[in-house]
Amino acid sequence: MTSMTPHHDATLTLVVNVPRHIQQARSGQEDAPSSGGGFLALAVLVAVLVVAYRISVHLHPFTKCSTCRGSGKHFGAVFKSAHRPCDACRGTGRKPRRGSRAQ
Ligand SMILES: [Zn+2]
């Protein structure tokens, strides 16, 4: 019994080890070029997005005020129609977008 168990384990180890070795070799060969290309593609994508955002901010430097949702008014909690200019945007209803020169 004891002599069969190590033999059985050795066979299992051999069967399991060979595919692992092949998989590691294949993944190692495939990962190096694909990860480099993926990083380059990601860098290009980020650069394109940054340029597109800067053009968009240049064309439209303002966005809606998040406090008053663009209305420019701060309404009372009890008297719903009573309002004053929004504190965050001073009643303009807009705020400069991130990265705009209007900040
Ligand atoms: Zn506001």
The tens digit of pLDDT for each residue in 6-62 reads 555 544 444 555 555 555 555 555 555 556 788 999 999 999 999 999 999 999 999
Q: Where are the domains of the chain?
A: 1-59, 62-103
- pLDDT band at 100, cuts 50/70/90? confident
> What pLDDT score does 65 carry?
96
Confidence (pTM): 0.51
* Interval 67-98: pLDDT, tens: 999 999 999 999 999 999 999 999 999 999 99
- pLDDT band at 101, cuts 50/70/90? confident
User: For residue 43, how far is its CA from the centre of ligand 1 (angstroms)?
Assistant: 36
User: For residue 95, how far is its CA from the centre of ligand 1 (angstroms)?
Assistant: 8
d(CA 33, CA 50): 26
User: For residue 55, how far is its CA from the centre of ligand 1 (angstroms)?
Assistant: 25
User: For residue 52, how far is its CA from the centre of ligand 1 (angstroms)?
Assistant: 26
Q: Which residue has the tokens 């380059």?
A: 40
Q: Residue 40 is which amino acid?
A: L
d(CA 51, CA 54): 5
